[in-house]
A and B are shown apart, each in its own frame.
Chain A
């Protein structure tokens, strides 16, 4: 944590919303991306980030000196997504698109529908490490910090996720 972050944290703890905005605000958009990667639903992702930000606001005392805000906040978003995924009974298959004259496999590949379908089938913990590392560009160490698991566990989840994903999107290789 930088010196400025430490000052902003102290001011946030005393109830300064502007300081909190300066500290956590820049993480809201990436937090939304993380939530969308997990939930594949715009509204659900916005809800998850809103709830996570509220939790971050009331749990600022949990941040220890030396901690980086990014993995801490992403950890809260990730937990929120875990709960949302557990609670959700419905999953989005795909969004409506205008009438198309053709719907070839190439079209589907371009739109990424096949990959999103495959991602939805992943268990939450495996999907989480994929999204954090490959989509959010977090290092494996940061991913471990966000999900609260040892580095070895993260690597193993990543490996299994890619193994599980590969056959389901294999067809796209032809068009890659």
Chain B
């Protein structure tokens, strides 16, 4: 490539965000009138601001702690600059030839990883697949639970899990455990609208069931259909995909209507955003799906990523966090998307020590919440 062309492309690539016409007026008007004392004034504000923040934090803790049993903190309300991201991964050592996972919080501003004790019970640890665990930080209960996020109830006080063919429900704090369903093998999809959804699968056919945790009774909501599979429970719908169709299927838990959503090319369901909209990877028959998008309806989607190779065909973990969506993939790769910022990528050059195989375990929490967690020992 000629240098001239390279430079032309460089200019064109940078010339994409013209300055706000009001920037100059805004900047100049923000300057302190007394420039000789500006620096001193700025410094003198610092203790006052710090005191104010400290008071706010103390007040915040005083107000929130008595309500500890309620889901009083809402995902997504922590700014990215203050975000402590719950993550887990594998420690670089083994005990008794078993891979050891570790949990902690990743400071989104500095990249610092704070390891904490998961306090996951030995019984749960024994049941977990330690080479590929699913761990969620249950923010409402301020606890780490050994299941994927949509297996945790909406109030965060209990979670469901599979033990063999049985569906159990367990209280996060008391650890009291109850078998809800026993019998044939099922695929546990998670909570939606206060009910637990699961599917039974026979060859290339699947049906869908809703289970009431209070009564223990379940009813079939979608009959067995061939070439069908249900995957994820969201806040208002259950999502699946007919085999080899390149489409996704939506079962509305309120109206019980089933609709098929499609887009140009093949789509693969990878997760849901906070509103329950499906996050899909899009591709075509010539190459595996790669481009990421959020769908809002049949043939309606917003691309999260202009390129189709950012996420590749990686095995992704997707976590909805209010207006943000977190993605993690093997190789300690982390992304966050919001409509305000677009897609942001963890800068690998920070070269900070992080657990191997980093996986996002929940939405952002504040530093105060992290300080309530017990630091890991050893």
Contacts and interface: CB of A to CB of B under 8 A. Distances in A.
A27 to B, nearest CB: 9
B209 interface: no
Interface stretch (A1-9, A109-117, A140-148, A149-157): A109-117
Contacts, number: 168
Contacts of A176: 1, 5, 8-9
A99 B24 CA distance: 34
A90 B6 CA distance: 26
A96 B28 contact: no
Interface in A155-176: 162, 165-166, 169-170, 172-173, 176
A145 B308 CA distance: 41
Mostly, the A contact residues are helix
Interface of B is mostly: mixed
A58 to B, nearest CB: 5
Contact of A32 (B19, B38, B310, B341): B19
Contacts of B306: 94-95, 97, 100, 103, 107-108, 111, 113
A21 B28 contact: yes
B31 A20 contact: yes
A115 B10 contact: yes
Interface in B283-307: 291, 293, 300-307
A76 interface: no
Interface string A35-70: 011000010011001100110011010000000000
A46 B23 contact: yes
A117 B353 CA distance: 24
Contacts of B30: 50, 54
B344 interface: yes
Given A89-B350, A94-B307, A15 B36 contact: yes
B338 to A, nearest CB: 9
B3 A29 contact: no
A97 B343 CA distance: 10
Contact of B28 (A20, A46, A135, A165): A20
Contacts of A50: 26-27, 30
Nearest to B15: A135
Listed from nearest, the 3 A-B pairs whose CB atoms lie closest are A112-B13, A95-B342, A115-B13
15 contacts: A15-B36, A28-B28, A46-B19, A50-B27, A89-B347, A91-B345, A93-B335, A95-B343, A101-B264, A112-B13, A116-B14, A134-B11, A135-B14, A135-B15, A176-B1
Interface of A: 15, 17, 20-21, 25, 28-29, 32-33, 36-37, 42, 45-46, 49-50, 53-54, 57-58, 60, 87-101, 103, 107-109, 111-113, 115-116, 119, 130-131, 134-135, 162, 165-166, 169-170, 172-173, 176
